[in-house]
């Protein structure tokens, strides 16, 4: 009688271990597949950031001469107006952070 009890316990543990192993395999398979998606998102993010940096550098070139000429007085309203006027001439929408100058090319925004 004790042999039959041990056999039932063994068979019950066997099926539990088998189910546990299957769940573990499925988790490993699905967890491993997510790695490619993360790198693709990172690559897209880096591409977007590099495009944005190129656009910022291009935009900064439009008012570089004002910046270099008025370097000592950058925080004055007069220099801010000059920079915003340069951006307006190139077709960019611009406004100062202190909201002292009206936005230029606001239709584009």
pLDDT digits (tens, 9 = 90+) for 25-62: 888 877 765 555 667 777 788 888 888 888 888 888 88
| Angstrom distances, CA of residue 74 to CA of 21, 63, 68, 78 | 67, 12, 10, 9
In terms of domains, do 7 and 52 share one?
A: yes
Tell me the pTM.
0.51
* 75 and 51 together in one domain: no
Instruction: Provide the terminal-to-terminal Cα distance of the chain, rounded to the nearest Å.
Output: 85
Do 74 and 38 sit in the same domain of this protein? no
Token pair listed for 71: 């370097």
SS3 state of residue 7: helix
Signed CA dihedral, 18, 24, 28, 34: sign only:
positive
Q: What range does the domain containing 77 cover?
A: 63-109
The whole-number pLDDT of residue 2 equals 52
Query: Has residue 82 got a pLDDT over 60?
Result: yes
- Domain identity same for 49 and 68: no
User: From CA 95, how far away is CA 63, in angstroms rounded?
Assistant: 14
């Amino acid at each position: 009688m004790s042999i039959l009890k041990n056999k039932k316990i063994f068979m019950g543990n066997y099926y539990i271990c088998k189910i546990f192993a299957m769940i573990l395999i499925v988790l490993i398979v699905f967890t491993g597949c997510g790695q490619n998606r993360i790198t693709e998102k990172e690559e897209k993010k880096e591409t977007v950031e590099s495009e944005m940096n190129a656009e910022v550098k291009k935009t900064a070139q439009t008012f570089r001469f004002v910046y270099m000429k008025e370097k000592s007085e950058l925080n004055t309203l007069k220099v801010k107006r000059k920079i915003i006027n340069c951006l307006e001439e190139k077709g960019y929408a611009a406004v100062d952070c202190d909201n002292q100058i009206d936005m230029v090319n606001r239709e584009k925004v």
